[in-house]
Amino acid sequence: MAGSETHYTLPRPSFDQAPKLLIVVAPYYKDIADALVAGARAEIEAAGGSHDTVEVPGALEVPTAIGQAFRMANFDGFVALGCVIRGETTHYETVCNDSSRAITLLGLQGACIGNGILTVENRAQAEVRAEVAGQNKGGGAAAAALHLIALARRWGGARRPVGFKPESEEFRIASADKGPMA
């Protein structure tokens, strides 16, 4: 049983400049979500950071909101929170796999994300994992984001776009001056 095992936890990173994180939570199971958020906020504040929190309808919308904020806002990192409890249909697998995959892809693009979306078999498992005095998975997700922010700052922290570069304004003007192609 995982509850009786001991796990190594990295020491909390320290920062010269306080990090700002966005907590994105799907409060479908409100009591579970509230516990996850409490753990995340406590961990961020213990590291000297600040945070904003936004709610989205479900776990599938969490990565979309993070992706929008990553492109359009000025956050150092993100904490993804929510809970998916297995039901009677295959919807569970879709939500778990697709939300996790999207968060991973955003991370590979440079977003510093701690994934605290619980994927459990039943409510009892969710409660144990969300409880701040228990497994505190919200705090763990915030800690993961803080560690990634520390690494990004260590390695330069500059955001570099991935993929194709947009056409530059100078290129469009120069091409327009040459007229239609023969």
Q: What integer is the mean pLDDT of 33-47?
A: 98
CATH for the stretch 18-177: 3.40.50.960
What was the pLDDT predicted at 5? Answer: 80
Q: Show the CA angle centred on residue 122, arms to residues 40 and 146, nearest 5°.
A: 20
Percent of the chain with pLDDT over 90: 80
Asked whether residue 167 carries a pLDDT value surpassing 90, the answer given is: no
Is residue 86 classed as helix, strand or coil in its secondary structure? coil
Question: What is the predicted pLDDT for the residue at 176?
Answer: 56
Mean pLDDT of the chain: 90
For the annotated catalytic residues, the residue numbers are: 91
pLDDT of res. 142:
98
Mean per-residue pLDDT, 133-153? 97
Q: What is the pTM of this model?
A: 0.84
Dist. CA 152–CA 97, nearest whole Å:
26
pLDDT at 37: 98
- How far is the CA of 75 from the CAs of 25, 56, 105, 172, in angstroms? 16, 18, 18, 32
Q: Is the pLDDT of residue 181 over 60?
A: no
